[in-house]
Amino acid sequence: METRILPTDLPPLLHHAVDEAVRLLRGGDVVALPTETVYGLAADALNASAVAKIFEVKERPTFDPLIVHLPHKKDIAMVAEVPPEIAAVVQKLTDRFWPGPLTLLLPKKPEVPDLVTAGLPTVAVRVSSNNVFKRVAQGLGRPLAAPSANRFGSISPTSAPAVQAELDGKIELILDGGASLHGLESTIIKVEPGEKKPLITIVRPGPITPDDLKPFGKVQRVDRTLIDEASEAPGQLASHYAPSTPLRLLEKPSDFTPEPGKKYALLSYRGDPEDGYADLTDWEQILILSPGKGKLPEAGVRFFYVLRELDNAGVDEIIAEPLHEHGVGIAMMDKLRRASVKGGHSARLPEVRKKAVLDAKYFDFHGDIQNQELNLPQWRQAGTSYFVTFRLADSIPQEKLEQWSRDRQQFITENPEPWTTELRAEFHKQFSDRFQNWLDAGEGACLLKDEAIAVIVADALKHFAGDRYELGAWVVMPNHVHVLVKPNGGHTLDKILHAWKSYTTHAINKALGREGDVWQNEGYDHIVRGPKAAQAIAKYITDNPAQANFETPYVESRV
Ligand code: TXA
Ligand code: MG
């Protein structure tokens, strides 16, 4: 596919570009459009298959919900229900900040596909003030789902060439609206009724600052360590906005000692030698966020651009100076801290890692089985990794499974969401862990303890590895099997699982001279949200034998 970039800087060009974009969107295609924050990859928000294309193009895990952009302020009812108890403050906020870089989380209407909100009951809504974007949305007359127009895990683009660098050949059209005004994604807030004033929670900091919001209620920030990826802001994964070059955010110049032979670039705040960073080493490159002035909004506009440039500078590590942490500086520092995780020097690293490990460890078995039934074939898209568990037919007795399922349902009924971190941990302890423990306790005949049988399974897993799929990690336990697998283009998880199960059933029955089911019918798979979760899952898999006091040669990890 050839990607066209259409200019919009003269009225006839703008008309033509908008017509083309509307035509493609109406046909269920995706188009990259400028907004005042960053470039978005837009699709008709009420057309689930169009929305699915966003995920395909972005290679984004489908659990990440998207922001929905309305044609006009008055169109809020197209996608969201404003609860009466916050209607007044929502009215004031939208009067003041829309169109503009403020996104509200509101209860969603059923018309909004679950794919847009990743199954969440809320939808993120805003109205863009960008003239090109507005014309397209109004021309289409429908809401547009649009995440930033980058591939998952890389930096949000702030110009048409930056979008092209990310998505060339993967989309048909980019409208060029020049450089983004803000260069930082919109501020996302949640609004709740409060005791005296409404409570405004900043879920993602951005161009609209806490000071801007103060006149409208009591403003608080979400404690990042408490963010639950499934219910708050899943996009705030530690790796979400990070450059691929390791980055280290410093607190003060003396925190840095160069290692001999390593190449470094400096992300400088204002390029002032007096700040003490310029002559810490012989920098390969120094880029300045706010040249000579130290103005945060200017730094904001250049932020992603500068990060991208430094990422391409071919250095071993990017060293970032700290910014003033107020106004949009809060958002930039937030992103630098996240990016800093990869460098391995951030003070927040332990918490972030712990969180990823926690998430990966606590699989919600039943929940994920249900997800399979939601009939969202897009979840089986190429490029996604899955954590798969399948177990022997006799590994967990049916009555036990049913009792477990009833207890679990009761817990959910008795404890309506939102859950505290403690409650969530308790839930996982009672249900996810209990399940794992049953498996590890070795219920049933444990056919797979027999090496001659285990090797059949291991061979089956390895048979099409590197061809139909990539094997990240796997283990054959006495009564179950865990696999971290990534299907290759054109091969679906369902087909792969089916092939593994039917081949091994046949071979195991033959070896044992028996007939009938080997595996429990219902499998379990869990989408893997990014590299950190993959690592944690691979660790879980390779640790499983020791955990269950079982020795086996049939365990491997390439992650
Ligand atoms: O400035 C922006 O907001 C840009 C432009 C294109 O509009 N869009 C953008 O979208 O940044 P995206 O998809 O890259 O980020 C959306 C963020 C993610 O962190 C996502 O998890 C969060 O919004 N989000 C979306 N819906 C949500 C919901 N219902 N609850 C919690 N977080 C939500
Ligand atoms: Mg993004």
Ligand 2 center to 499 CA (angstroms): 36
Q: 49-58, 138-147, 542-551 — which one is most confidently predicted on average? A: 138-147
> Which of 60, 62, 63, 185 to mutate to test ligand 1, by most ligand atoms within 8 A of the CB atom?
185
pLDDT for 403: 82
Q: How far apart are CA 429 and CA 435, in angstroms?
A: 9
Nearest atom in ligand 1 to the alpha carbon of residue 186 is 1
Of the listed ranges 3-7, 277-281, 507-511, 528-532, the one predicted with least confidence: 528-532
Cα–Cα nearest to 355, from 476, 516, 228: 228
For the residues 402-422, what does the mean pLDDT come to? 81
* CATH T-level fold of 370-557: Alpha-Beta Plaits (3.30.70)
Considering the chain, tell me which residue range(s) the CATH 3.40.50.11030 domain(s) occupy: 247-342
Q: What is the pLDDT of residue 428?
A: 76
User: How sure is the predictor about 61, in pLDDT bands with cuts at 50, 70 and 90?
Assistant: very low
Q: Is 66 in the pocket of ligand 1 (CB under 6 A)?
A: yes
* Length of the chain measured in residues: 559
Q: What is the pLDDT of residue 361?
A: 36
Q: What is the CATH number of domain 247-342?
A: 3.40.50.11030
Q: Where in the chain is the domain with CATH 3.90.870.10?
A: 4-221
Q: Which atom of ligand 1 is nearest to the CA of 121?
A: 29
Task: Report yes or no: 78 and 64 within 8 Å, Cβ to Cβ.
Answer: no
Separation of alpha carbons 139 and 18, rounded Å? 8
Secondary structure in 3-state letters for 236-257: HCCCCCCCCCCEEECCCHHHCC
- Proximal ligand: closest to the CA of 37: 1
Q: Find the DSSP H helices in 76-154.
A: 84-97, 114-117, 131-140
CB 329 within 8 A of CB 231: no
133-137, 146-150, 231-235, 512-516: segment of lowest average pLDDT: 231-235
CA dist 70 and 555 (Å) reads: 50
CA angle 99, 101, 104 (to 5 degrees): 85
Determine the Cα–Cα distance for residues 22 and 41; give it in Å rounded to an integer.
Answer: 13
The answer to whether residue 459 scores a pLDDT higher than 80 is yes
At 465 the pLDDT is 87
* DSSP letter, residue 312: T
447 vs 29, 158, 236, 481, 505, CA distance in Å? 50, 57, 43, 12, 12
* Three-class secondary structure of residue 190 per DSSP: strand
Neighbours of ion ligand 2 (CB under 5 A): 148
Model pTM greater than 0.85?
Answer: no
Q: Flag whether pLDDT at 351 surpasses 80.
A: no
> Any residues with CB less than 8 A from the CB of 248 and at least 6 apart, and which?
256, 317, 318, 319, 320, 340, 343, 345, 346
- In one-letter notation, the amino acid at residue 553 is P
Give the mean pLDDT of the chain.
82
Would you give the DSSP letter of residue 420?
P
Query: Which residues have a Cβ under 8 Å from the Cβ of 185 and sit 6 or more positions away?
Result: 37, 38, 101, 148, 156, 204, 206, 331
Ligand 1 centroid to 67 CA: how many Å?
5
Q: Please report which confidence band the pLDDT of residue 421 belongs to, taking 50, 70 and 90 as the band edges.
A: confident
List all residues 6 or more positions away from 96 whose beta carbon is below 8 Å from its beta carbon.
216
Range scoring the smallest mean pLDDT among 286-295, 477-486, 503-512? 286-295
What does the pLDDT read at residue 226?
A: 37
Interacting residues of 309 by C-beta distance below 8 A, sequence separation 6+: 287
Q: Determine the residue type at 443.
A: E
Question: What pLDDT, in 10s, does the model give residues 220-271?
Answer: 887 443 333 333 333 343 333 467 889 999 999 999 999 999 999 999 999 8
Q: Which residue has the tokens 């059933």?
A: 505
Distance CA 247, CA 265 (A): 9
Q: Which CATH superfamily is domain 4-221 in?
A: DHBP synthase (3.90.870.10)
Atom of ligand 1 nearest to the CA of 204: 19
Ligand 1 pocket check for 147: Cβ under 6 Å: yes
Q: What is the 3-state secondary structure (H, E, C) of 43-73?
A: EECCCHHHHHHHHHHHCCCCCCCCEEECCCH
Spatial neighbors of 549 by CB under 8 A, at least 6 apart, are none
What pLDDT shows up at residue 156?
87
CB atoms inside a 10 Å sphere around CB 85: 11
Predicted pLDDT of residue 131: 97
Q: Is the bond leading into 418 cis (omega within 30 degrees of zero)?
A: yes
Query: Where, residue-wise, is CATH 3.30.70.1290 in the chain?
Result: 370-557
Binding site membership of 130 for ligand 1 (Cβ less than 6 Å)? no
**Nearest by Cα to 478 from 457, 493, 504:** 457
- Residue 367: what pLDDT? 34
Per-residue three-class SS string for 517-544: CCECCCCEEEECCHHHHHHHHHHHHHHH
Pairing of strands 40-44, 31-33: antiparallel
Cα of 145 vs centre of ligand 1, distance in Å, is 10
Average pLDDT over residues 311-331: 86
Q: For position 386, what pLDDT does the model report? A: 86
**For residue 396, what pLDDT is reported?**
82
User: In the predicted model, is pLDDT for residue 176 greater than 50?
Assistant: yes
The pLDDT score that the predictor gives to residue 134 is 98
- One-letter amino acid for residue 459 of the chain: D
Give CB contacts under 8 A, 24+ apart, made by 232-235. 232/203, 233/188, 233/203, 233/204, 234/63, 234/64, 234/65, 234/118, 234/529, 235/64, 235/65, 235/147, 235/204
What is the distance in A from the centroid of ligand 2 to the CA of 148? Answer: 4
Which atom of ligand 1 is found nearest the CA of 42? 6
- The answer, yes or no, to whether any atom of ligand 1 lies below 6 A from the CB of 67, is yes
- Compute how many other C-beta atoms are within 10 angstroms of the C-beta atom of residue 166: 23
